[in-house]
Amino acid sequence: MKICKECGKEFEDGDRFCDRCGIPLPDITYTKEKHIATVKEKRGTKFILIYTTILSLIYLSIIIINL
């Protein structure tokens, strides 16, 4: 079963564009398992970015308070 790499919608073998998001569909097979792994990877990256931003803000607050 093939799914869209961007939105996860299933598509037929002959489809060239995704019905939901409109991106061109690649010729390679992109399975549901690969889509789930990609989504989890993106979530992990977002979490790290948010976490480091919060820590940076806390650190800057402490520096400003101690001035």
pLDDT on residue 55? 94
Cα distance from N-terminal residue to C-terminal residue, the chain: 60
Region for residue 29 given its phi and psi (left: phi exceeds 0; alpha: psi -120 to 50; beta: otherwise): beta
Asked if 33 contacts 19 with a C-beta cutoff of 8 angstroms, the reply is no
- Residue 49 in this model has a pLDDT that exceeds 90: no
Residue 1's pLDDT band (cuts 50, 70, 90):
low
Tell me the two tokens of residue 27. Answer: 């010729």
Q: In whole numbers, what is the pLDDT of the chain averaged over residues?
A: 80
- Residue 25 in this model has a pLDDT that exceeds 90: no
Sign of the CA dihedral running 36, 40, 46, 50? positive
Residue 11, beta-bridge partner list: 2
Task: State residue 3 phi and psi, 5-degree precision.
Answer: -135, 160
